[in-house]
Amino acid sequence: MNEQAIQKAKEQFGRIIEEQLARIERLKKAEDWVDYSQIKPVIVGILGGDGIGPYIAKESKRALEFILKDEIAGGKVKIKDIEGLTIENRAAKMKPIPDDVLEEIKTCHVTLKGPTTTPRKGDPWPNIESANVAMRKVLDLFANVRPVKVPNLGIDWIFFRENTEDMYMLGSNGIEVTDDMAVDFKVITNQGSERIIRAAFEYARKNKRKRVTIVTKANVIKTTDGKFLKVGQQIAKEYPGIECDDWYIDIMTAKLLDPKRRTDFQVAVLPNLYGDILTDEAAELQGGVGTAGSANIGKRYSMFEAIHGSAPRMVTEGRAQYADPCSMIRAAAMLVRHIGYPEKAEKLEMALEICGQFEKKLVITGRSSGATGEDYTNYLMETVKDAKLRDRWISYQKTAVAA
């Protein structure tokens, strides 16, 4: 009996290795970065998702249309809705992204995506792969960029989470060897590590950040994390003006809570799973996962999303209109910057900061005790409209530094 199980597991392992080696060959032929300034119109797809997704997507789309009003009117940017990335449709088609939805996504240059329910073992839904993870893989969105900024605490971090490898790559392809034993796989490649680490250093160089921190558990997970760290240390040599240090994920998790040390961190680069966990912790310091945005960047396509889940309970309890759209609006701001309008992105980000961290004229609690997503988005847009937006933002920054 065990003989047969072992044989079957070996064969599955063999197929996995072949597929991964083929993927490396594709990575070696990597294409150039798309140049949005050469494209007219840049097509932005809006994917509502499920749970609270359609509610916060509606507000985010409003914010996006507001900030890009002139570009849309001038035919430089076109926004379109893409239906069907719902858990019901994905379950009916038994696909993480139904084929027709994927075709639609590929007609867009970038997408703004609401959260999508990820079924797990024991859920009423079939055990299909996460739509996020599938989209990151099929569109090769290798850089998951997650900024976290808390001026009052002196925190200004940006995380570069590898998005296509590590425990996630084969997260739905583990082997149930016997009833008693299951095996999952962690895959790290030179090519996959190099491109994310380079993206982190390039960001640091362009944005005058002085330090890049590589986060692994290379003391224990020696082969794969060891590879990530080694690639990182080699690339660091190409950037002599930028200090590079490395931390283990456990102590890094602790140090993000240490007021004396955490303000030293600037840019962090890390494998997929550690990045998933650490960015939730970081976002919590900013006011919760509802406040953080996330960019999934590839050379050809990019997708921007909220970092939190679809909160189906808020919908069943009739509270969806109180869901916080800020995470997705922050993602919209990242999208605006990515397609070439940094000043407009900055306006939206300043408004998010003023409203969410300083002024707090409206507060979202997720319940009727707080503002609705719609009212909050109106508050943000009013703030963006203010001719003195920047002065207002600067004066708040000063009070934060003084505090």
Q: Which residues bind Mg ion (CB under 5 A)?
A: 276
**Residue 216, binding choice from ligand IPM, Mg ion, none, Cβ under 5 to 8 Å by partner class:** none
Q: Answer for the pair 298, 139: CB distance below 8 angstroms, yes or no.
A: yes
Which residue lies nearer to ligand IPM by CB, 49 or 373? 49
* Smallest separation, CB 276 to ligand IPM (Å): 5
* Smallest separation, CB 294 to ligand IPM (Å): 6
Which residue lies nearer to ligand IPM by CB, 132 or 377? 132
**Residue 380, binding choice from Mg ion, ligand IPM, none, Cβ under 5 to 8 Å by partner class:** none
Which residue, judged by CB position, is nearest to ligand IPM in the bound state? 130
Which residue lies nearer to Mg ion by CB, 162 or 276? 276
**Residue 59, binding choice from ligand IPM, Mg ion, none, Cβ under 5 to 8 Å by partner class:** none
* Smallest separation, CB 305 to ligand IPM (Å): 7
**Residue 71, binding choice from Mg ion, ligand IPM, none, Cβ under 5 to 8 Å by partner class:** none
DSSP count for the chain of H helices, then E strands: 16, 12
Which residue lies nearer to ligand IPM by CB, 311 or 354? 311
In 3D space, the residue among 321, 346, 364 whose CA is nearest the CA of residue 56 turns out to be 321
Q: Quick count: other Cβ atoms within 10 Å of Cβ 145? A: 23
* Smallest separation, CB 121 to ligand IPM (Å): 14
* Smallest separation, CB 280 to Mg ion (Å): 5
N-terminal to C-terminal alpha carbon distance within the chain = 68
Task: Please give the radius of gyration of the chain, using alpha carbons only, rounded to the nearest integer.
Answer: 21
Strand ranges across the sheet with 42-47: 77-82, 42-47, 110-113, 302-306, 293-297, 143-150, 155-162, 267-270, 211-216, 243-248
In 3D space, the residue among 114, 35, 110 whose CA is nearest the CA of residue 68 turns out to be 110
Which residue lies nearer to ligand IPM by CB, 67 or 283? 283
Which residue lies nearer to Mg ion by CB, 278 or 333? 278
**Residue 130, binding choice from Mg ion, ligand IPM, none, Cβ under 5 to 8 Å by partner class:** ligand IPM
Residues making contact with ligand IPM (CB under 6 A): 118, 130, 132-133, 276, 307, 309
Q: Answer for the pair 36, 339: CB distance below 8 angstroms, yes or no.
A: yes
* Smallest separation, CB 40 to ligand IPM (Å): 31
Query: What is residue 195's three-state secondary structure?
Result: helix
Query: What is residue 273's three-state secondary structure?
Result: helix
* Smallest separation, CB 141 to ligand IPM (Å): 11
**Residue 349, binding choice from ligand IPM, Mg ion, none, Cβ under 5 to 8 Å by partner class:** none
Q: Answer for the pair 145, 158: CB distance below 8 angstroms, yes or no.
A: yes
Give, as one character, the DSSP assignment of residue 291.
Answer: G
Question: Which amino acid is located at 89 in the chain?
Answer: N
Q: Answer for the pair 270, 159: CB distance below 8 angstroms, yes or no.
A: yes
**Residue 118, binding choice from ligand IPM, Mg ion, none, Cβ under 5 to 8 Å by partner class:** ligand IPM
Which residue lies nearer to Mg ion by CB, 76 or 186? 186
